[in-house]
Amino acid sequence: MNGSGGDVVDDGGSDSRVKKKNIHGVLNAVSWGVLFPIGAIIARYVRTFESADPAWFYLHASCQVSGYILGVSGWATGLKLGSQSKGVMYSTHRNIGIVLFTLATLQIFALFLRPKQDHKYRVYWNVYHHGVGYAILVLGIINVFKGLKILEPGDKWVTTYITVISVLGGIALFLEIVTWIMVFKRKSNKSTKPYDGNGA
């Protein structure tokens, strides 16, 4: 994606840096900006369906691990570009990238310390996991837009990403409504369950 026409270019040695920028942009947009949100949607909503257990967990983990691998690759490409760009500084974009890498790495390692469901510390682990996860989600999307502003890839690429993230947001909103409807129905069913008279 070049800075003028919005197309991927390949016209010689001077475009080697442009290619690296494009690779950096694509890797990070797909990882932080798409895979991580999809993984969060799966964890938040698909798990509410009893028939989806434990498939939702493996889908969630697959999205997050794949996103992490691509994100680290994009982050490393960004560091390489930064080292080759003397005097060119995108401090906010770079710093958010460093924070994202740090948080995502902690999140991956935290999986190995995940207590069992009935462990007394599981609630604290859940709070940590969800908090860090949503921080990654928000910072990732913000940094994708900052990266697009730096790359200036053309309106069609920006519009494409906005469309993708809007669709994911719409899906999340729809599933949120469905989830709450299911919660209220379950509560209603429990409250209307006839008393069996045995004191249980």
**CA gap 135, 106 in Å, rounded:** 12
Residue 12 three-state SS: coil
Residue 115 three-state SS: coil
pLDDT given for residue 9 in this prediction: 45
CB 45 within 8 A of CB 179: yes
**Which residues of the chain register pLDDT less than 50?**
1-6, 8-13, 199-200
Radius of gyration of the chain (CA): 21
pLDDT given for residue 191 in this prediction: 66
Rounded to the nearest 10 degrees, the angle between the axes of helix 55-83 and helix 16-30 is 150
* Ordered domains of the chain (ranges, CATH): 18-191 (1.20.120.1770)
Q: b or e along 84-111 (b: 16 or more beta carbons within 10 Å of the residue's beta carbon)? A: eeeeeebeebbebbeebbebbeebeeee
pLDDT given for residue 13 in this prediction: 47
pLDDT given for residue 3 in this prediction: 47
Model-level pTM? 0.78
CB proximity list for 78: less than 8 A, separation 6 or greater: 24, 28, 94, 97
